[in-house]
Amino acid sequence: MAAKLIIFTVCVASALAQYSAPAYKPAFSVPVYPAPRAYAPEPAYAPAPYSFEYSVNDPTTYDVKSQSEYADGNGNIKGSYSLLEADGSTRVVEYTADDQSGFNAVVKKIEGGYKAPYSAPAYKAAYPAPVYSAPTYKPAPYKAY
């Protein structure tokens, strides 16, 4: 019975081997894209003089800050900014920037100034906190088997 099955399988395989597989033809053509164009470089502009400033004073969020900056058009920049710190002091940063010496900043802290209307009271415990020690364990006695 097994010999008949092997002979049948060989006959089917030889009959199918005489037919070649159909050639694959895609249903659509592959798109051809044009070569990318070379773009002209960005033109270099001379520095333009400018000046700006702003300030924020929000009493609900205690956001108090300001900034001002000036540029003369020759690459020299001078400015400052300030902000209110959480401890009530004001941080002021004055800076200059140019092509020769780069960016230079001077930071100042002005004590006092604005204080928040509420400060949390200091917490004092009514009794000392308990002191816990780590547990100690004795090793189990060795038992020879």
pLDDT in tens, 38-58: 888 888 888 889 999 999 998
Instruction: Considering only residues 120 and 66, tell me which one the structure prediction assigns the higher pLDDT.
Output: 66
What does DSSP say about strands 77-84 and 63-71: parallel, antiparallel, or unpaired? Answer: antiparallel
Torsion angle of the four alpha carbons 10, 13, 14, 19, in this order, in degrees rounded to the nearest 10:
170
**Side-by-side strand order, sheet with 77-84:** 50-58, 63-71, 77-84, 90-98, 102-110
Instruction: Considering only residues 27 and 54, tell me which one the structure prediction assigns the higher pLDDT.
Output: 54
CB contact at 8 A, 88 and 116: yes
